[in-house]
């Protein structure tokens, strides 16, 4: 056993000396491996960084949150019929669906442009009304001021929570809390500036204005009954999530008069569903891109084999001397095999460094979340590099080990 370890150490040292002696050739030899590993790591690091960012965005929401939204079947869309959820649907869910809490309605407030005005500055933004429970369901907290409370909703107060992007676009000087903005001709007092949350899928999460739900209903007037409502809630026992969805489906189908066999005119989404869907998309994309880029690793392996065959030819006399001094076939085979694996691992290391750097640059230029390289990607890169070295190094190593020592010594 000790003899095998000594041979491996000596073969590794010989491989390192060979790489130093032929630096440029070694670089060209490993170029295919470097490009392949760098490409894989770049793709994986960008996707994994994006995946971690999405997961962190959902962490504050929790997997027990359910959102009920309208859904118009394709057949109805072709007929110009559009589904909607109403305030009555919210009341029915709140009354008849057990095992849920913080049932929260949200309604979009449509203006001529959905705009908000401060002094002579006006910007288009999304304005919607919701209840105080919106805060706990969506993890929206105030950087300054206080959030909407039940008293605001009960009294239909003209108060507003605004995102940091709206503050910036309206160029509100000093502390925005306590100042007034105009929505649909109505004056609203700013009571909270929400914490900055950044972008998600290119959507600015800080570009919004939130007002009490009853206030939104009052300024919409008769239109509030025709406006679509989104209903959110949290499930008290996450193990009952499926059962709660069944209850919601039953209540809404009955309320909307949907016949057996007809599709729902609403859809029920949960955070765990969205995370699972996103995870499958990321996993599938990583697998496909990794498979495509893996072809370059095979090309790099062929390059390794060709250069190693040239190296065997160049070192024929050296091999003859080694055999004349007592080296066995296994010793020669091990020496060249380790040299091939050493080259591939060296290319894998350089590719890993370049891949992470490339992923970071791509994320920075494309304004994506920071790149992240998971441990499994590092292990896979080195493992695949070593495997390439073994597969494509075996033929040159076998050729070297099978040389006749006398013929090798005569080789010019």
More confident residue, 356 or 239: 356
Interval 50-73: pLDDT, tens: 777 766 666 555 567 888 998 887
How many helices and strands (H and E) does the chain possess? Answer: 14, 14
Interval 297-316: pLDDT, tens: 777 777 777 777 777 776 66
Do 206 and 251 belong to one domain?
yes
- Tell me the two tokens of residue 292: 């495509």
More confident residue, 286 or 139: 139
Helix (H, G, I), strand (E, B) or coil at 130: strand
Do 44 and 106 belong to one domain?
no
- In the chain, the number of structural domains is 2
Do 367 and 322 belong to one domain?
yes
Asked if the structure places residue 350 within a domain, the reply is: yes
pLDDT for 112 equals: 41
Interval 88-132: pLDDT, tens: 999 999 999 998 888 999 998 864 455 788 888 888 888 989 998
CA angle in degrees (0–180, nearest 5) for 123-131-163: 30
How far is 50 from 285, CA to CA, in rounded Å? Answer: 12
Contact 192, 28 (CB under 8 A): no
Kind and range of the H or E element at 143? strand 142-145
User: In whole numbers, what is the pLDDT of the chain averaged over residues?
Assistant: 79
In the chain, pLDDT over 90 holds for what percent of residues? 15
Quickly list DSSP for 358-409: HHHHHHHHTTPPPP---HHHHHHHHHHHHHHHHHHHHHHHHHHHT--HHHHH
pLDDT for 158 equals: 93
Do 90 and 235 belong to one domain?
yes
The mean per-residue pLDDT over the stretch 305-331 comes to: 71
Do 118 and 257 belong to one domain?
yes
- Window from 68-77, 247-256, 267-276 with minimum mean pLDDT: 267-276
Do 158 and 89 belong to one domain?
yes
Quickly list DSSP for 70-112: E---HHHHHTT------HHHHHHHHHH--SEEEEEEEEE---S
Asked if the structure places residue 376 within a domain, the reply is: yes
pTM for this prediction: 0.61
How far is 319 from 408, CA to CA, in rounded Å? Answer: 7
Q: What does the H/E/C string look like for 172-214? A: CCCCCCCCEEEECCEEEEEEEEECCCCEECCEECCCEEEEEHH
The number of CA neighbours under 13 Å toward the Cβ of 233 is 23
Do 255 and 321 belong to one domain?
no
Do 23 and 129 belong to one domain?
no
Asked if the structure places residue 86 within a domain, the reply is: yes
Asked if the structure places residue 155 within a domain, the reply is: yes
Asked if the structure places residue 272 within a domain, the reply is: no
Judge whether residue 228 has pLDDT over 80: yes
Do 384 and 335 belong to one domain?
yes
Do 44 and 78 belong to one domain?
no
How far is 214 from 220, CA to CA, in rounded Å? Answer: 10
pLDDT for 187 equals: 92
Asked if the structure places residue 52 within a domain, the reply is: yes
Contact 278, 51 (CB under 8 A): yes
Judge whether residue 17 has pLDDT over 80: no
Contact 360, 46 (CB under 8 A): no
- Residue 350's pLDDT band, with cuts at 50, 70 and 90, is confident
For residue 219, CA distances in Å to 128, 190, 191 come to 12, 17, 19
- Cα-Cα end-to-end distance for the chain: 37
How far is 314 from 235, CA to CA, in rounded Å? Answer: 73
Last residue of a domain, one of 264, 294, 328: 264
Note down the domain range covering 134: 72-264
Q: Position of tokens 């913080």?
A: 102
Asked if the structure places residue 82 within a domain, the reply is: yes
Do 116 and 162 belong to one domain?
yes
- Residue 136's pLDDT band, with cuts at 50, 70 and 90, is confident
What is the phi/psi pair of residue 252, to 5°? -70, -35
pLDDT for 242 equals: 84
Judge whether residue 225 has pLDDT over 70: no
Do 250 and 333 belong to one domain?
no
How far is 108 from 88, CA to CA, in rounded Å? Answer: 16
């Amino acid at each position: 056993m000790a003899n095998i370890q000594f041979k491996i150490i000596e073969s590794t040292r010989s491989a390192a000396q060979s790489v130093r002696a032929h630096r440029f050739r070694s670089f060209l030899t490993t170029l295919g491996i470097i490009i392949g590993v760098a490409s894989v790591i770049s793709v994986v690091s960008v996707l994994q960084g994006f995946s971690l960012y999405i997961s962190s965005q959902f962490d504050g929401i929790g997997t027990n949150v359910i959102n009920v939204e309208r859904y118009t079947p394709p057949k109805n869309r072709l007929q110009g019929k559009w589904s909607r959820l109403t305030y009555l649907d919210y009341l029915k869910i709140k009354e008849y669906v057990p095992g849920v809490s913080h049932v929260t309605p949200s309604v979009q407030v449509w203006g001529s442009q959905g705009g908000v005005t401060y002094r002579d500055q006006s910007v288009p933004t999304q304005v919607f009304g919701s209840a105080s429970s919106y805060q706990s369901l969506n993890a929206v907290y105030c950087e300054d001021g206080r959030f909407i409370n039940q008293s605001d909703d009960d009294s239909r107060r003209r108060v507003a929570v605004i995102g940091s992007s709206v503050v910036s676009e309206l160029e509100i000087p000093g502390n925005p809390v306590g100042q007034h903005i105009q929505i649909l001709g109505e004056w609203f007092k700013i009571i909270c500036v929400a914490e900055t949350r950044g972008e998600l899928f290119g959507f600015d999460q800080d570009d919004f204005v939130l007002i009490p739900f009853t206030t939104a209903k009052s300024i919409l007037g008769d239109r509030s009954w025709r406006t679509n409502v989104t209903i959110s809630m949290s499930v008290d026992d996450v193990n009952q999530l499926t059962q709660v969805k069944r209850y919601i489906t039953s209540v809404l189908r009955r309320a909307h008069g949907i016949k057996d066999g007809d599709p729902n005119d609403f859809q029920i989404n949960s955070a765990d569903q969205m995370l699972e869907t996103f995870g499958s998309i990321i996993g599938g994309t990583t697998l496909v891109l990794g498979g495509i880029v893996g072809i370059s690793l095979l090309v790099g392996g062929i390059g390794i084999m060709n250069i190693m065959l040239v190296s065997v030819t160049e070192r024929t006399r050296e091999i003859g001397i080694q055999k004349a001094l007592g080296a066995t076939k296994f010793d020669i085979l091990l020496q060249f095999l380790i040299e091939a694996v050493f080259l591939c691992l060296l290319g894998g290391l350089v590719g890993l460094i370049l891949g992470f750097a490339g992923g970071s640059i791509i994320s920075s230029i494309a304004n994506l979340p920071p790149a992240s390289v998971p441990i499994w990607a590092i292990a896979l890169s080195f493992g695949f590099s070593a495997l390439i070295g073994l597969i494509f190094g075996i033929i040159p190593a076998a050729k070297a080990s099978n040389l006749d020592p006398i013929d090798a010594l005569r080789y010019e």
